[in-house]
Amino acid sequence: MKLIFLSFILGITLSSTGPANGQPLQKKRDYSRQDTLRGSLTSERVWWDVLHYNIEVNPDYLTKTIQGRNIITYRNIEGGKKMQIDLQQPMQIDSVHDGEGLKTELSRDGNLYYITWDAKQVMQVKKQRTITLYFSGKPKEAVNPPWDGGWIWKKDNNGNPWMSVACQGLGASVWYPCKDHQSDEPDSASITIITPDTLTAVSNGRLAAKKTRGKGITSWTWQLKNPVNSYNIVPYIGKYANFSDIYNGENGKLDLNYWCLDYNLGRAKSHLEPQVKAMLKCFEYWFGPYPFYSDGYKLVEAPHLGMEHQSAIAYGNGYKMGYNGKDWSGTGQGLKWDFIVVHESGHEWFGNSITAKDIADMWLHEGFTSYSETLFTECQSGKKAAQDYVTGVRKVIQNDIPLIGDYGVNQEGSGDMYCKGANLIHILRQVINDDEKFRKILRGLNKRFYHQEVSTKDIETFISTNSKIDFSKIFDQYLRTTQIPKLEYKIKGGDLTYRWINCVKGFNLPLKVTFKGERWIRPTEEWQVLSLYPESIGVFTINQNFYINSVKVN
């Protein structure tokens, strides 16, 4: 999930930050060697496949430091001898232990380390192996989370420590050593969090163990059975209270757990339970079964606005409707539901189950998830309300740079990936012109790419193939340019003459328009004439559901 890039564009219309998901990187254009090492599949990355992370972390609230270890289980698929491990400065790896006792050398290159084995040592190809990395340091502190990434050291209203992490965009390597690239997720993970026994530690998946370690210290171990993005593995530490429920979903009984600050228990129960169940009913209808039944569903009150942490969604919307009490669509529809519950939960399907291989394709996470807001509005208030909502958010679109970023350098595209991405999907729905087929495509995406990493091209091909419509030029227009297509038209008597301008070559978006009733036209870059003579053409309007510009010419 991800709400972070909206902070810039929502600030324009709401005078506040926007949804909460990742650290915005989209303005960067001068890339360094470090960007390439972080963002590309280097030879030191491709030879090994991550299977499991077993993380332990012990934070010190007073010094804002952490120490811990990550036992990485991996498969040696190509027989490499040099491994890239990402860990951002000033964090450091203190020592390395090979699971088979082989000798290693450790060297640092900026925000990453290299672990090198002696060429004479035998490492069996295809074999499952482990390596343990002990780390420590004072991780980057998030000053304005979640838009500014890092560890969060705050206090609740009663003065109790309240800690967490928000690191999408910035990357999980801001605090623990890992392969920090979205193309290789661990197939499962566990995290042990060491805390004072006056506090509770919550994380992804299910609680596997709680142990008293003496001297007022407790450890909490949480286990994830499903693949997970490295940035989604996070600790939450605070004075938490818990309540639970069951949702009878498409795949059976789904455990629902809510972890709120102890003094917010009453508010959380009355506000969250109906919101979550309505969301799950809607999203399972449109997208298919919740993707992580075996890990359950959790909302955890967080010291920041929100984030799509898999099976442990960060919630900080203050138990209010809308986005922090506001509706950035300007239609009133966004005040009928809790933005963070809906948006961040939508990421469980798009972002957490279906994951972009390269952060350049992050629009796949944000565009589809932002459209989930439209679909939830439709579930709650009907189709017209949903159309008003998705067209209402267009006012925050900047068209500054394309939605797709630069590949191989850890660079996402424009913050428009939210609202423009949602409007692109809405356009596809209009052209498909069959809501049941559209729903089957959304559910088909979640079945075909269940728990997989994908590219934009994978999704484009799937949609075009299953709709039997070639959407390639429409994708090119809205994903790879900043141009909004413009319909030039003129009316004379009963003739409507029209064409596309400001568009990619071969742009072929059909339009639903009104004149003497609703009808479709199929503009190209060449002038076309539709003659209704001897009828008078009357008032000409373009259906609101198409994100285009138009101009009447003489």
pLDDT score for 8 = 39
Is there a domain that residue 502 lies in? yes
Is there a domain that residue 537 lies in? yes
pLDDT digits (tens, 9 = 90+) for 189-225: 999 999 999 999 999 999 999 999 999 999 999 999 9
More confident residue, 309 or 78: 309
pLDDT digits (tens, 9 = 90+) for 243-298: 999 999 999 999 999 999 999 999 999 999 999 999 999 999 999 999 999 999 99
Q: Does pLDDT of 47 surpass 50? A: yes
Q: Does pLDDT of 10 surpass 60? A: no
Q: How many domains does the chain have?
A: 1
Confidence category of residue 417, pLDDT binned at 50, 70, 90: very high
Confidence category of residue 427, pLDDT binned at 50, 70, 90: very high
Is there a domain that residue 297 lies in? no
Alpha-carbon gap, residue 173 to 180, rounded angstroms? 6
pLDDT digits (tens, 9 = 90+) for 500-538: 999 999 999 999 998 777 899 999 999 999 887 666 556
Alpha-carbon gap, residue 428 to 79, rounded angstroms? 45
Alpha-carbon gap, residue 215 to 179, rounded angstroms? 35
Q: Does pLDDT of 32 surpass 50? A: yes
Is there a domain that residue 37 lies in? no
CATH number of 542's domain: 2.60.40
Is there a domain that residue 216 lies in? no
364: amino acid identity, one letter: L
pLDDT digits (tens, 9 = 90+) for 119-163: 888 888 889 999 999 999 999 999 999 888 999 999 999 999 999
Is there a domain that residue 508 lies in? yes
Q: Does pLDDT of 29 surpass 80? A: no
pLDDT score for 27 = 60
pLDDT score for 484 = 98
pLDDT score for 123 = 84
Query: What's 175's DSSP letter?
Result: T
Is there a domain that residue 545 lies in? yes
Contacts of 69 (CB under 8 A, 6+ apart): 55, 56, 132, 133, 134, 135
pLDDT digits (tens, 9 = 90+) for 350-400: 999 999 999 999 999 999 999 999 999 999 999 999 999 999 999 999 999
pLDDT score for 518 = 87
Is there a domain that residue 119 lies in? no
Quick one: average pLDDT of 72-96? 96
Range of the domain at 522: 486-552
pLDDT score for 408 = 97
Average pLDDT of the chain is 94
Confidence category of residue 30, pLDDT binned at 50, 70, 90: confident
pLDDT score for 535 = 61
Contact status, residue 131 vs residue 100, Cβ threshold 8 Å: no
Contact status, residue 218 vs residue 209, Cβ threshold 8 Å: no
Contacts of 453 (CB under 8 A, 6+ apart): 182, 183, 184, 185, 355, 356, 357
